[in-house]
Structure 1
Amino acid sequence: MPMTLQVLYPVSDDTTFDDAYYQSSHMDLVSEHMGAHIQSQVVTKGLAGGPDTPPGFHAIATFVFADQAALDATLASAGPVLADLPNFTNVTPTMLIGQTYD
């Protein structure tokens, strides 16, 4: 069964997020260290939380994997990606691991 990993970067009054660095350098690290196991990915930049509402997240990255083994392999190789977080944000991201519905 396909598995997903979502990485959510919540907004609060004191959070910072360097979108340019994230798009270029950080996502290159994701591709280098985790890309072999990722079936597809999409990153959503937070623009709004609804009409006239600021976004609740700087960004949400969604990665899809063929199965649990591919997800496990990705998580095992994520060290350099996680170590890069302080280079673009002071947010501790929230992760959601799940299954997709067919």
Structure 2
Amino acid sequence: MIKVSVLYPNATGATFDHEYYLKTHMALVKERFGPNLLGYSVDRGLAGDDGATPPLYVTQCNLYFESMASLGAVMGAHGGELNADVPNFTNITPVTQLSEVLVDNRP
């Protein structure tokens, strides 16, 4: 299984519209990627226990695909459109990491 992690680093002046991201952007992702997208998760960074330590990332999204071929098929067709939507919800330049999932022990 292939995981695409899209991370939005926290920085002074960073803005992120979680409502738009969840309701509009992720709906677009699901629609465009269709059955090639096995599943996804979206996380919001939290401050540390002391409440003063800001999160390293404002938001993180993980997208799961069966193979690099299934990822490549949808990214080639729709990656540009999805990237063009980023300024609608954030001024952060996302960082992307591709990973091979070796163990998935989620319930």
Whole-angstrom CA distance in 2 between matches of 1:66 and 1:25: 24
Q: CA deviation at 1:67?
A: 0.9
Paired residues in the alignment total 100
Structure-2-length-normalised TM-score: 0.86
Could you say what secondary structure the match of 2:15 adopts?
Answer: coil
Partner of 2:15: 16
Could you say what secondary structure the match of 1:6 adopts?
Answer: strand
Partner of 1:85: 86
Partner of 1:51: 49
Stretches of 4+ moved more than 4 A in 1?
Answer: none
Partner of 2:68: 68
Q: Is 1:31 the counterpart of 2:40 in the alignment?
A: no
Aligned partners of 1:4 and 1:63 also within 8 Å? yes
Q: CA deviation at 1:35?
A: 3.1
| Structure 2 alignment gaps of length 5 or more | none
Q: After the TM superposition, which of the residue ranges 75-84 and 61-70 deviates more from structure 2?
A: 75-84
What RMSD, in angstroms, separates the aligned Cα atoms of the two structures?
Answer: 1.2
Structure-1-length-normalised TM-score: 0.90
| Structure 1 alignment gaps of length 5 or more | none
Amino acid at match of 2:57: F
Q: CA deviation at 1:72?
A: 0.8
